[in-house]
Structure 1
Amino acid sequence: MTASLSETLTLVLIEDDDGDAFLVEELLKEADAPPRITWARSLAEGLPKLTADVQCVLVDLSLPDASGLEALEQVLAAAPHAAVLVLTGTSDAHVGVAAVQAGAQDYLVKQDITARLLVRSIRYSMERRRTQRMLVKAEVSAQENARLERGLLPVPLLSGDTIEHTTRYLPGSQGALLAGDFYDTVQTPDGSVHIVVGDVCGHGPDEAALGVALRIAWRTLVLAGRTGDVMLRTMDALLRVERKAPEIYTTLCTATLTPDLTHAELRVVGHPPPVLIRDGVVTAIGEGPSGPPLGIFHDAEWHAIDVPLGEEWSLMLYTDGLIEAAVEQDQLGVDGLVELVREHGHVDLDRLIRHVGTLTDDLAVVLVQRRAP
């Protein structure tokens, strides 16, 4: 039966035995598309022939100027793009196994080679090498994307240790590091502490990119002293420019703590209400939002909610992934979250997230706490 190669290959054979080299060449002539073969009698002669157009290398492990894995290592280094098969004698079959472990795609015992076996081994080896290269590229790309995404996550700008600041960020998409949820914390020179937690509707890379853009815009505006409604209107305008579809909107909650940390000014923009623990009492702040989400109404207005904090308190801002978690087949909801915090007596984010059960959406949480002096 005629052996089959689906394309004409460029192959380098490094073999010092004339008879073995002649056998390989004759066997490959039986292929449907015989490869172009370049023969070298030594490693020194063969290495310069391993150019970028070479797709496969057959190398004997018993050469006059190199033997065993030494020869293989030099071939692999010189031709990282090519599939490499090693040729062994019957008594050296164990060396062939070691060669595969060291990076060769396959090995053949010379005495057992047939045209069909040789062609099939070449074809499979090239496919394995192609797959390996794709996996390496995918891994490198994934690592680069992970570094990029980690670099886009915020580092809080806080001076001193007057408050405890804890965050958790869990994208709903498996394998992702970023989602449409975003958060940030910035302390301005006057001592005020500004916090934001937001949620871009939808899931995917476009929403994640938009979330990053909105977070960076928020930080820039706060550092420039543009807060309150001015900041919200600017972010609303940015959202309309950057979003991929007109139906995409964003909810968010902002908190500005006074320099003495005894009051907070909140804006709940179509977002779940923050949870406050003060004097042992757990409440969801505000009976309703300050106004609609960003990106819906051009003439929207948002009113501030003033909240006395006192000397000792805990304030938690979060996205709806927390309250939409499934607890005993029901969503937790704001009331359920308040009750859960009340049962715990304090907020431990890891324990809280474990307790709420299965998360069905992205999650971002910022917890700030102040202990009594």
Structure 2
Amino acid sequence: MSEVRAERETRRGSAATPVPIRLLLVEDDEGDAVLVREHLADAGLDVDLSWVRSLDEAIDHLNVDLVLLDLGLPDAMGIGALERLLAAGAPAVVVLTGLSGTDIGLQAVAAGAQDYLVKGEVDGELLGRSVRYAIQRRRLEDTDRALYRSLVRAEEVNRLERALLPTPSVVDQRLEVRVGYRAGRDGVLGGDFYDVVERPDGSVLALVGDVCGHGPDEAALGATLRTAWRTLVLAEVPTVDIFGLLERVLISERARPEIFTTVCMLDVTADRSAVDLYLAGHPVPLLLGEPSALLPTHGRGRALGIPVSGGWAPVRLELGPSWRILLYTDGVLEATVTGSSDRVGKTGLLRIVDAAVVAQGDLVDRVLHDVRQLHGGDLVDDAAVVVLGWRG
């Protein structure tokens, strides 16, 4: 049925070239069929008319703009015929039958017919007007439904975005915290997520993660993991235990056993002089400077959800009185350079970051902008960036 609807939309979109109304008449009486043809001619409608004698035949010929349906057919009678036709994906339907009576007409309209006409009471003008109005009403209904679906999707995206990309919960205003996210080319949120939370003891935990895959399911799982992570942090679960518990949530919530998630987490000490770095199969953060450099990688652990042995040992990094660290997801690394198959990669990202540091301004926005510009447009994958900084 999707191909049928697509063809209808194509026809509707080409207003510059008028096309005949494609009309299907479902009528088992040849004399009544001839009379309908005469009424349509009297109405002056440009009609491409098809005629079938049964409901089963009609269901195979629904690639039309409107169906004129008799309710007394060899294989279907009454409102049941209309309901079967609509369930099969019929477009606008006008009931044209010998069955009279207010009740049957109301039932037909309530069931989804655009209009109800009695054969002995119809002339060309009435039939023509009913056909035109029915098609127009159905198109308006389709437009309203499409708008509603669009609004629902937008609200779903907003809810997912709030869950994936929260406002950092940090009290210490001296700590620089910057976050940014860019959706991929299709504008649909993927599985990238981030968060930053300050604990009562003054330590600050920051997280970036990436659920493998791209789409609403991955976004929903990312939102679940991000929420679970913040819950664990606020519950003051020891930092060394967080990844193990987060993996349990992942295994419980993922749709397929092959789904995994890469995560990077920093635990900044209360005095801001050091951080503990936790890596679960995720790209290594950058220590910003002149030049910037990758942080040590000897503590890298496996991605969450991968059924192999091994845990996530922290690496303690002494940072000194002033520092800035950039965390990111692989969307910025895997962006290709315009006109080639080369990826930005770690070397390219370091160049972009160094240029952004020199230029000053909002570092996160600048990095995401420059990666996108180097790529030549919207990125294929979504990308998240978090910057933490301290000046003693």
- Per the normalisation by structure 1, the TM-score is 0.68
AA at the equivalent of 1:366 = V
Pair 1:369 & 2:389 matched:
yes
Distance 1:34 1:127 in 2: 24
AA at the equivalent of 2:384 = A
**Residue 250 of structure 2, aligned match among 195, 220, 239:** 239
Query: Kindly tell me: are residues 52 and 275 of structure 1, through their superposed partners in 2, closer, same or farther at Cα, counting changes over 3 Å?
Result: farther
Deviation at 1:157, TM superposition (A): 0.9
Q: 253-262 or 148-157: which moved more?
A: 148-157
1:271-290 map, 5 Å: 271-278=282-289, 280-288=290-298, 290=300
The residue matched to 1:300 in structure 2 has which SS?
A: coil
Pair 1:158 & 2:170 matched:
yes
**What are the Cα deviations for residues 349-370 of structure 1, in whole angstroms up to 9, with x where unaligned?**
2222222233221211111222
Deviation at 1:287, TM superposition (A): 3.7
Deviation at 1:275, TM superposition (A): 0.8
Deviation at 1:250, TM superposition (A): 0.8
**What are the Cα deviations for residues 199-231 of structure 1, in whole angstroms up to 9, with x where unaligned?**
111112221111111111111111222233311
Pair 1:351 & 2:366 matched:
yes
AA at the equivalent of 2:324 = S
Distance 1:248 1:137 in 2: 32
2:195–2:207 CA contact under 8 A, matched in 1: yes
2:182–2:368 CA contact under 8 A, matched in 1: no
Query: Kindly tell me: are residues 8 and 150 of structure 1, through their superposed partners in 2, closer, same or farther at Cα, counting changes over 3 Å?
Result: farther
Query: Kindly tell me: are residues 82 and 258 of structure 1, through their superposed partners in 2, closer, same or farther at Cα, counting changes over 3 Å?
Result: farther
Distance 2:180 2:70 in 1: 55
The residue matched to 2:312 in structure 1 has which SS?
A: coil
Deviation at 1:298, TM superposition (A): 5.0
CA RMSD across the alignment: 3.1
* Residue 201 of structure 1: aligned partner: 212
* Residue 114 of structure 1: aligned partner: 125
**Residue 169 of structure 1, aligned match among 171, 181, 200:** 181
* Residue 323 of structure 1: aligned partner: 333
Pair 1:311 & 2:321 matched:
yes
* Residue 225 of structure 1: aligned partner: 236
Distance 1:52 1:135 in 2: 26
Distance 1:37 1:296 in 2: 68
Distance 1:201 1:295 in 2: 11
Pair 1:179 & 2:179 matched:
no
Distance 2:99 2:323 in 1: 77
Distance 2:100 2:198 in 1: 69
Distance 1:140 1:360 in 2: 24
Distance 2:184 2:147 in 1: 26
| Number of residue equivalences | 288
Distance 1:158 1:262 in 2: 17
Deviation at 1:147, TM superposition (A): 3.9
AA at the equivalent of 2:368 = I
**Residue 141 of structure 1, aligned match among 134, 149, 152:** 152
Instruction: Give the unaligned 5+ runs of structure 2.
Output: 1-36, 41-65, 72-93, 116-123
Query: Kindly tell me: are residues 230 and 7 of structure 1, through their superposed partners in 2, closer, same or farther at Cα, counting changes over 3 Å?
Result: same
Query: Kindly tell me: are residues 370 and 265 of structure 1, through their superposed partners in 2, closer, same or farther at Cα, counting changes over 3 Å?
Result: same
**What are the Cα deviations for residues 104-161 of structure 1, in whole angstroms up to 9, with x where unaligned?**
xxxxxxxxx8355323212312322321331242134234324422432322111031
The residue matched to 1:185 in structure 2 has which SS?
A: strand
1:31–1:119 CA contact under 8 A, matched in 2: no
Distance 2:133 2:100 in 1: 13
**Residue 354 of structure 2, aligned match among 326, 342, 353:** 342
Deviation at 1:32, TM superposition (A): 4.4
The residue matched to 2:226 in structure 1 has which SS?
A: helix
Distance 1:371 1:127 in 2: 64
Distance 1:362 1:143 in 2: 17
Query: Kindly tell me: are residues 163 and 292 of structure 1, through their superposed partners in 2, closer, same or farther at Cα, counting changes over 3 Å?
Result: same
AA at the equivalent of 2:202 = G
Instruction: Give the unaligned 5+ runs of structure 1.
Output: 10-29, 39-50, 56-80, 85-112
Q: 356-365 or 184-193: which moved more?
A: 356-365
**Residue 296 of structure 1, aligned match among 276, 289, 306:** 306
AA at the equivalent of 1:340 = I
**What are the Cα deviations for residues 151-202 of structure 1, in whole angstroms up to 9, with x where unaligned?**
32322111031112111112326242x3211110000001101000001111
Distance 1:132 1:339 in 2: 48
* Residue 265 of structure 2: aligned partner: 254
AA at the equivalent of 2:171 = S
1:229–1:301 CA contact under 8 A, matched in 2: no
Deviation at 1:236, TM superposition (A): 1.6
**What are the Cα deviations for residues 244-268 of structure 1, in whole angstroms up to 9, with x where unaligned?**
1111111110001111111111012
Distance 1:183 1:31 in 2: 56
Distance 2:195 2:170 in 1: 11
* Residue 68 of structure 2: aligned partner: 6
Distance 1:310 1:53 in 2: 78
Distance 2:125 2:315 in 1: 83
The residue matched to 1:343 in structure 2 has which SS?
A: helix
2:299–2:314 CA contact under 8 A, matched in 1: no
1:249–1:293 CA contact under 8 A, matched in 2: yes
